Structure 1
């Protein structure tokens, strides 16, 4: 009987260890080089690798030209531009201009401007060059309205999140989703990127500090981040309490069996 109880204890310990996740699989941006000692606490710089997004067909852009006569023409829905932006999050086509199949947008007063193939800042310059034929003392502001990042899989709050900044990195995107769960596979996070006629899949390791030098660290509009669970999660079924409940039941049954057979 002692042997039976001993075996149950061993099983319980093994199950408990199986439900644990090593810190090496959880900690972000680790220094993978060994033997650095105190140097790992020194500031480290990494080259910035942030490719600019290139506008393409069917992108929706907001164009605002500040001029006494033109302001109302470009704020199409409301006098309050902040109200427009809140509407644009859900319905960007209501307040923006869609780049047509020829790469053009048709703007009030100044007419058509080719934007496909340009960055946002180049688009501002192109519109400004066209506007100066009609106006003086004006300012042009352009930004992308259909700018989202989707995060799915082993995160706290999966979803599709709008962003209106020029640069968004993968850590910021994951923070929008409430961070990864304890059982997320941080070493094989996939980024699905639309490349027009094909989709590109990029795999990044969030545990490795060298991620900061990877161009994929900075996201592109409409990227999709896919986070798979660790293989150990198949065993623990999302809640470690299930394991301990099973172990407790197993030990209780064994104890009852021992008492009955004495």
Structure 2
């Protein structure tokens, strides 16, 4: 009986060691920028600009030395709010935004229909300055995308859709907004879904290799979707997950019974 008890204990110990062994994560699957020292130091990176896409909402403000001259190019709108206590309705003046249609066009005051989709912010500003410059002297134009957003899904700590204020965000910054990857996320196979000119592209990024900073997907574009795939540990645990507590309880009971029987 004693020999059977010793055999049972050894078996349980062996199984525990196996679980610990297979649960250990390899450094190459977890650590970011593993070969960054091999990159050329002080490397110059080209400036990145997003391209204007259909469904973008653009805030365009025109100013000049003569404020009255710029008025026709700055349509105003009003948001209505009411004060229930005094039954007073008030209108708050806001700047008009311009929706880029499916053909990449906006309808701009005085100028009419302008194709702006597919242009970078710099190119769009140059186009507007050349057209508005025919009407007013030295126009100053401010343009920004007001509905810039990205979505993060999968094995990140806070999945969701995030607004971006700066119009310039890296993949690493986006992952940081979601409180980084969970330990179960595949760092060498991150999916970036992007739409360009009505066509969706699907691209894989390996952030364990430092050369991804030279990738076209180091900077994200508006409406990009980032998906972090679960690793094998997460996939396997999802099958066992609902029964894990039951298995642990059963093993504990067996060990307790064995101790009582062979004591």
TM-score class, shorter-chain normalisation, is 0.7 to 0.9
Q: Contact (CA 8 Å) 2:148, 2:167: kept in 1 or not?
A: no
Task: Indicate the residue corresponding to 2:29 in structure 1.
Answer: 25
Work out whether 1:180 is the aligned partner of 2:181.
yes
Tell me, in whole angstroms, the C-alpha distance in 1 between the residues paired with 2:219 and 2:248.
Answer: 45
* TM-score normalised to structure 1 length: 0.78
Work out whether 1:65 is the aligned partner of 2:65.
no
Q: Deviations over 1:111-145 (max 9, x none)?
A: 33331232111111111112222223531011222
SS of structure 2 residue aligned to 1:21: coil
Q: Deviations over 1:190-240 (max 9, x none)?
A: 001113343211001111111112122111111110001111113445999
Q: Any stretches of 5+ residues in structure 2 without a counterpart?
A: 80-92
Cα displacement (A) at 1:74: 4.0
Structure 1 residues 102 and 213 mapped into 2: Cα distance closer, same or farther (>3 Å)?
A: closer
Task: Indicate the residue corresponding to 2:87 in structure 1.
Answer: none
* TM-score normalised to structure 2 length: 0.78
Tell me, in whole angstroms, the C-alpha distance in 1 between the residues paired with 2:246 and 2:16.
Answer: 11
Task: Indicate the residue corresponding to 1:6 in structure 2.
Answer: 10
- Which structure is higher in strand share? 2
RMSD: 3.2
Cα displacement (A) at 1:252: 4.7
Cα displacement (A) at 1:255: 3.6
SS of structure 1 residue aligned to 2:183: coil
Query: Counterparts of 1:81-92 in structure 2 under 5 Å?
Result: none
Q: Which has the larger radius of gyration?
A: 2
Give the one of 15, 21, 30 matched to 2:19. 15
Task: Indicate the residue corresponding to 2:207 in structure 1.
Answer: 206
Q: Contact (CA 8 Å) 1:61, 1:98: kept in 2 or not?
A: yes
Equivalent residues, number: 241
Tell me, in whole angstroms, the C-alpha distance in 1 between the residues paired with 2:239 and 2:171.
Answer: 24
Q: Deviations over 1:168-195 (max 9, x none)?
A: 1100111111111111110110001113
Q: Which has the higher contact order (CA 8 A, sep 6+)?
A: 1
